[in-house]
Amino acid sequence: MIGSQRDGLRIALGADRLSNGLPHRLSPVPMPATPRLELQDLGLRFGALRALDGIDLAVQPGEIVALLGDSGCGKSTLLRVIAGLERPDRGSVRLDGAEIGGVPPEARGVGLMFQDYALFPHLTVAENVRFGLHAHPRATALALAAARLEQVGLGHRAESYPATLSGGESQRVALARALAPGPRILLLDEPFSNLDRRTRDRVRADTLGVLRETGTTTILVTHDPEEALGFADRIALMRAGRIAQIGTGADLYGRPASRFAARFFGDLFEVAAPCRAGTVATPFGPCPAPGFAEGTALVACWRPEVIRLVGPGEGLPGRVVSRRFLGTTALLSIVVEGFLEPLALPVAASDGREIGTVVHLAADPAGAFIFREERD
């Protein structure tokens, strides 16, 4: 949870008011010159800990950006800075071109949705959604709250109390409440992590649909790469208080800037070797390594999907040492000479290869990621 419940509710419910008090839908428009949110050289220390270090980020109106990373990498701290719950040591935070570093949280036009939703148990669903709409005439607040509840599919639960809601319903009420004041930007802190997988997938899809419909500029904090890939327009992958790489999901998955980024999005099969004459030697053959000096310690990495099972006499021989049934697929663990760790390779569940089977593997050397060998 980001900050205290009281501070967060002030932010989530003190956002800009819609000019007519009614929900709106934004039509696609050309990208404006001014980003909705712009962070420049943000830095923040907690004693000796450098929580944020040189953060630069621009988020366009209507864009959904995921802050992705392991626990402690700085993503929640960055959300707190945007919300106004933490003050950075250096750098600027601009919203629609205006510096908001000195603006109190409740006046920033920022909505915040909690991991635990923070619904008031003594208020009905409709009253929870109306909580931050006191500046509106009562009739307008009632209409706006009802419209937001209909939008998230919970108009029929308006008079229910939070204790009677499922986890997915609570999440949708929290979303309706955060959107009701018409925030300029919405901050989501791990909003789906408390849901079981089946409910999470459904609620996540529903939430994305609402955000697209309303054109709400959104920043999502998550530690789940799959969630970031499926939810966000762009992903800012964070590490040790910095943005390690930012781009579309396709960019980060298919063109990772580092081994750290490549590993974050799935398993890798790795081979370390020095650069020799512009290549790195691997069991699958020499891999092109342009741009590296002779003798540079390199690592060649393949994703499992580029490894092929081939016929006897082709490719590299290996031996299946374990097999794990996963429903429609099975996961084979294969020991291959030249690799320090067994290769985990998914196959169809109907594939008949069992433990002890000798298999042969091949991969296009040009399909490898090549990175400089660095300490993790």
* Residue 118 structure tokens: 């923070």
Backbone angles phi, psi at 356, to 5 degrees: 95, -15
For 198-257, how does the pLDDT look when each residue is reduced to its tens digit (9 = 90+)? 899 999 999 999 999 999 999 999 999 999 999 999 999 999 999 999 999 999 999 999
Q: What is the pLDDT of residues 120-175, one digit of tens each?
A: 999 999 999 998 888 888 999 999 999 999 999 999 999 999 999 999 999 999 99
- The per-residue pLDDT for 31 is 53
User: What are all long-range contacts of 257-260, with beta carbons under 8 Å and residues at least 24 apart?
Assistant: 258/371, 259/299, 259/301, 259/369, 259/371, 259/374, 259/376, 260/376
How many CA atoms within 13 Å lie on the side-chain side of 308? 11
Residue 18 is predicted with a pLDDT of 34
Domains of the chain, CATH where assigned: 5-259 (3.40.50.300), 267-372 (2.40.50.140)
- Residue 376: predicted pLDDT: 60
Please give the average per-residue pLDDT across 98-122, as a whole number.
90
How high is the pLDDT of residue 206? Answer: 92
Instruction: Please choose, from the candidates 233, 371, 238, the residue with its C-alpha nearest in 3D space to the C-alpha of residue 302.
Output: 371
d(CA 59, CA 217): 8
- How much is the average pLDDT of 43-64? 96
343 DSSP β-pair partners? 334
User: CB–CB of 182/216 below 8 Å?
Assistant: no
φ, ψ at 359 (rounded to 5°):
-125, 170
Band (pLDDT 50/70/90 cuts) for residue 33 is: low
Position 136 scores a pLDDT of: 86
Question: What pLDDT is stored for residue 116 in this prediction?
Answer: 81
User: Does pLDDT of 297 surpass 50?
Assistant: yes
Contacts (Cβ under 8 Å, ≥6 apart) of 129: 145, 148, 149, 173, 176, 177, 180
Asked if pLDDT for residue 8 goes beyond 70, the answer is no
d(CA 121, CA 308): 55
Q: How many beta carbons lie within 10 A of that of residue 375, not counting itself? A: 3
Q: Inform me whether the pLDDT recorded for 189 exceeds 90.
A: yes
Share of the chain above pLDDT 70, in %: 91
pLDDT digits (tens, 9 = 90+) for 306-353: 999 999 889 999 999 999 999 999 999 999 988 888 999 999 999 999
pLDDT at 48 over 50: yes
* Predicted local distance difference test score (pLDDT) of residue 120: 92
